[in-house]
A and B are shown apart, each in its own frame.
Chain A
Amino acid sequence: MRFRNRLQAWLIRRQPESTEWTLRQQRIYLLPTTFGWTLLGVALAIWVGALNYAVSLAYALSFWIIGLLLVSVLMAYRQLAGLTLQAGAADPVFAGETAHFEVRLDNPSAWPRTLQGHLAGRAERAVGCQLPSRSSTWLSLPMTAEKRGLQAMPALALSSDVPFGLIRAFAYVRLREHVLVYPAPLRDGLRHGQGASGEGEAVLPAGEDEFSHLAAYRDGDTSRQIAWKVLARRDVLASKQFTGATAAGCRLLDWHDYPPGQGVESRLSWLAWRVLECERERCCYRLRLPGVEVGPQPHQRERALALLARFGALS
């Protein structure tokens, strides 16, 4: 087992990284499965029996099985050969959730393919996929995100034992694809939910109803907020966001809300929870980390969470 892992690691190290690959013979490996070895043993046993008992037809059977094994090698090889892979995008997830790396598979050949993909060195289940001739599909490879930050996609192992399960063709491909893992949100009831009056959370004074930006319309937005001009011009429902539009004013989610003794990851997790909470309540907030701040703006949630996810990696 250990040998296998080391072999796998070595095979993966040999591969350069790219966003697109076409599988050629130099990266497709072929090995008999346990079943393949068993059948080879059976063929040899039949051969020995044929030698001893001088049974001509048993020779034929034995050699036919061997021929079948050889043809299986070719058939398994054809399942992977010529396949084109392209890295897609992976949606950001919170740590602890399952990220899905999207890989586009292109079958340019006239024959259908059946194969499985999984991420090398990971425990997640392999994902099967069928590709009819001259077609493409997306392979979605799950990976449990363990750490926050920008996580590279592990090497993709593609394999196929079609048609008989005797020979397994496999290839390791390193695709340049990443997933952004936000810190796992951690409930921080103390500093949230007590509203403007609470001491825990600093609230920035509510400014005038100053227009901030446009956001997609969400249920609950008042008719006053709807950008009618935009609707008339572009036929898109959008709501105007104002600074200080919420009743509670703009909340400040500050790195320094926490005493200096607190760990970085805990702070990030708390802040992430508070960002989500503000988003849920649709209230105005500012996230302030050392040296950087995210105020109300389009895609504020994503920006704020990304900031939390990448914290430490940037500076």
Chain B
Amino acid sequence: MTGGDALRRVLPVLAALAVTAAPLALHLPGWVAALSAAMLLARGVLLWQQRQLPPRWLVALAVVVPLVLLWLTLRTLVGREGGSALLLLLVGFKAFETFSLRDWRVLLALGFFLAATPLLFDQSPLAAAWLVQSLLCLTWAMAALNGRQPLLASLRTTLQALLFSLPLMLVLFVVMPRLPGPLWGMPAADESANSGLAEDMAPGSISQLILNHEPVFTAVFAGPPPPRRDFYWRVMLFDRFDGSRWLNAGALTEPRGQTRGGIPVSYTLTVVPDKGRVPVLDLPGGVAEGLTERAGMVWQQARASDARIRFRADSRAGALLVEPLDAMQHAFYRFLPAGNERALALAASIRARSRDDEAYIRAVLEHFRLESFRYTLSPPPLSGAIVDQFLFETRQGFCEHYASALAFLARAAGIPSRVVVGYQGGEYNSAGEFWQIRSSDAHAWVEVWLASRQAWWRVDPTAAVSPDRIERGVEQAVPAARTAMPMLGGRPPEWMLALRQHWLAANFAWQQWVVGYDAGRQRSLFRSLGLGQEVDVPAVLKGLLAGAVLMVMPFLWWWRQQAKREPLQQGWLLLGRRLRRVEVVIAPSDTPAEVLLRAASLAEAEHGQLAALLEAYACLRYRTSGEASPEAVRCWLRAVRCFRPGRAMNGKTPAGRG
């Protein structure tokens, strides 16, 4: 393959590879992407200038260096990052030893494989759009490489082929069975990637999240949702205070809690687990498949992965968590480190005024409400005796300040307490009929153990200070948390909010039906389509059969379109059909003049029209020289379509009556 023709055939291959590999630049070490891009470019330049390729042994030798470098960077050549980087580098080097058509085809086949690798990192609608573009480029390059058509004609063919294979793809996508689990080891969850809740709770750890509007998870309720004040999604439990932070000491190793009371709600949650942790509505019933329940009714994945999961859960909104505590646990949940004397004194004074534990807690909340505490996103920094400082000096804080203070004061009064961190609230998306919970909904509240009920009681001190936060969301309670317009500031206009809602809804549907189309979803779809109870061979065959009809449709349309008769003949046949409607029957052998004779029964005006049409037909069909101009033929065909002998008559009759 040499010369200009070869250039025209081969350059598209390189370009398609570059387009396909482009999204990998976002996910792989920068030098890998840069090197591969440079290699493809260099290969293109060599082609352009029709220079010799470097000898094979040199290429083979040169490939060792980046591979070693890759090993040093990633410490692996397999898995998601390692595998994709390796493939990308190999494609770059393979481009340097392409001589024959066969070599180029191997390279192009590798390109198709390469198109799959960005999907390991990102499956957003944008990634899908890029995938379609890559596929288009690769297929076009394939047609160009075959080199039997001009570039533009091959683009047409490519679009046609992709369009026709689309229904095939869709049917196979829906019908081909999915596996419930991996074939071999899954890539481990990426520990470094963490945008969720922190491992501990110190002042300021949640307020940072509030400014982040990233969606965290979505929930779809099977029935009516619980009242907004019960929208507490628990994720983590902090049961030990070390003077500056709340931590999870994991004292209780066995989940022994039970729920009492509350409204049963059933919902489906879609979430990317954060280090295996998944949110669950306060308080959950039985644990969902693939998840385990930890002490304090928080859920965790059985095996941590960073793939998006979806599960069904049942909760009882507003229920009590009944859990008897033994003496040791009782002591553990009352433990406080030394310090914060003023807070201890405050606790003692309130305790003295209170009848029982419950009254004490209410009194503390009352204290928060009546004293000039402020709910703010940017409280003054605290250090040292943080509870004292907050309670008596700054008096400005966010949910974690209040939760921390309340849990402290409860323990100070001898009431077991712990801090629960999770999310509160959510935004209902009416377009997609789901609830979207974002980072900005992160929240911390307190559970105190009441000996009288032998149960944990949820107390949200933030509600005492800022009821709006609970009832209407953080954006209403704290102006700073409102979604700001990037440039102008202030609240975005309604239409933009609506647009955002629709985008979110589309995203949700995408996550639910495309990215999250797994074995479970497939089974439920098969059931609702009536293909079978399980995804087994007969059900799949049935699905394929049903899908075959769908797949064949575009082909039929295509074939029909191609088999279309030439316009003149088409018009002639149409004319015959129109005349048959008014009972003028034409034999196939009739000439235009004979047709006119047979149609003598027509009304005069119509007869005149027909005569004109037939004359035009004879003119076009039996011209003495040259081809009839397509424009004239089209014009005639239009006239034939307008010619409806029956209609004129039907139209006249009612008019006559009226």
Contacts and interface: CB of A to CB of B under 8 A. Distances in A.
Contacts of B169: 60, 63-64, 66-67
Contacts of B361: none
Interface residues of A, number: 47
A56 B123 contact: yes
B154 A65 contact: no
Contacts of A42: 109-110, 112-113
A117 to B, nearest CB: 14
Interface in B336-382: none
Given A57-B123, A164-B161, A63 B168 contact: yes
Contact of A110 (B128, B183, B555, B564): B564
B135 interface: yes
Given A42-B112, A56-B514, A64 B119 contact: no
B interface, size bucket: 35 or more
Interface string B167-179: 1110011001011
A51 B142 CA distance: 27
Contact of B517 (A56, A111, A114): A56
Interface stretch (B63-71, B145-153, B316-324, B456-464): B145-153
A111 B184 CA distance: 48
Contacts of A59: 172-173, 176, 178
Contacts of B109: 35, 38-39, 41-42
Nearest to B513: A56
Given A65-B112, A162-B149, A54 B154 contact: no
Contacts of B515: 56-57
A39 to B, nearest CB: 5
A43 B102 CA distance: 18
Contacts of B143: 163-164
A163 B123 contact: no
Contact of A46 (B113, B127, B187): B113
Interface stretch (A71-79, A271-279, A305-313): A71-79
B165 interface: yes
A71 B109 CA distance: 17
Contacts of B307: 54
B131 interface: yes
Nearest to A72: B161
Contacts, number: 148
Interface string A44-58: 011011111111111
A161 B517 CA distance: 36
A63 B183 contact: no
A152 interface: no
Interface in A272-301: none
A291 B563 CA distance: 60
Interface in A150-180: 161-166
A32 interface: no
A44 B145 CA distance: 23
A90 interface: no
Contacts of A56: 123, 514-518
A61 B113 CA distance: 9
Contacts of A45: 113
A216 interface: no
B165 A164 contact: no
A39 B106 CA distance: 9
Contact of A55 (B123, B142, B161): B123
A55 B186 CA distance: 12
A252 to B, nearest CB: 56
B120 interface: yes
A206 interface: no
Contacts of B148: 114, 128, 130, 162-163
B35 interface: no
A68 interface: yes
B562 A51 contact: no
A70 interface: yes
A57 B127 contact: yes
Nearest to A33: B105
B105 A53 contact: no
A34 interface: yes
B550 interface: no
A39 B105 CA distance: 9
A109 interface: yes
B142 A165 contact: yes
B105 A61 contact: no
A32 to B, nearest CB: 12
A53 B182 contact: yes
A166 B564 CA distance: 28
A165 B149 CA distance: 12
A54 B179 CA distance: 8
Nearest to A160: B148
B429 interface: no
Contacts of B162: 64, 68
Interface in B118-169: 119-120, 123, 127-128, 131, 135, 139, 142-143, 145-146, 148-149, 154, 157-158, 161-162, 164-169
Contacts of B516: 56
A60 B128 CA distance: 10
Nearest to A114: B148
B183 A68 contact: no
Contact of B161 (A35, A60, A68): A68
A228 B148 CA distance: 55
A128 B109 CA distance: 26
B46 interface: no
Nearest to A70: B168
A72 B105 CA distance: 16
Nearest to A50: B116
B115 interface: yes
Contacts of B127: 57
Contacts of B154: 163
Interface string B293-335: 0000000000000010000000000000000000000000000
A60 B142 contact: no
Contacts of B128: 57, 60
A61 B116 contact: yes
Contact of A68 (B139, B562, B563, B564): B139
Interface in B171-208: 172-173, 176, 178-179, 182-184, 186-187
B146 A162 contact: yes
Interface in A59-104: 59-68, 70-72, 74-75
B131 A61 contact: yes
B309 to A, nearest CB: 10
A6 B442 CA distance: 74
5 contacts: A45-B113, A52-B186, A57-B514, A67-B164, A163-B143
6 cross-chain pairs, A with B, having the tightest CB-CB distances, nearest first: A67-B165, A67-B168, A63-B172, A165-B146, A64-B169, A63-B169
Interface of A: 34-35, 38-39, 41-43, 45-46, 48-68, 70-72, 74-75, 109-111, 114, 128, 130, 161-166
Interface of B: 80, 102, 105-106, 109-110, 112-113, 115-116, 119-120, 123, 127-128, 131, 135, 139, 142-143, 145-146, 148-149, 154, 157-158, 161-162, 164-169, 172-173, 176, 178-179, 182-184, 186-187, 307, 514-518, 555, 562-564
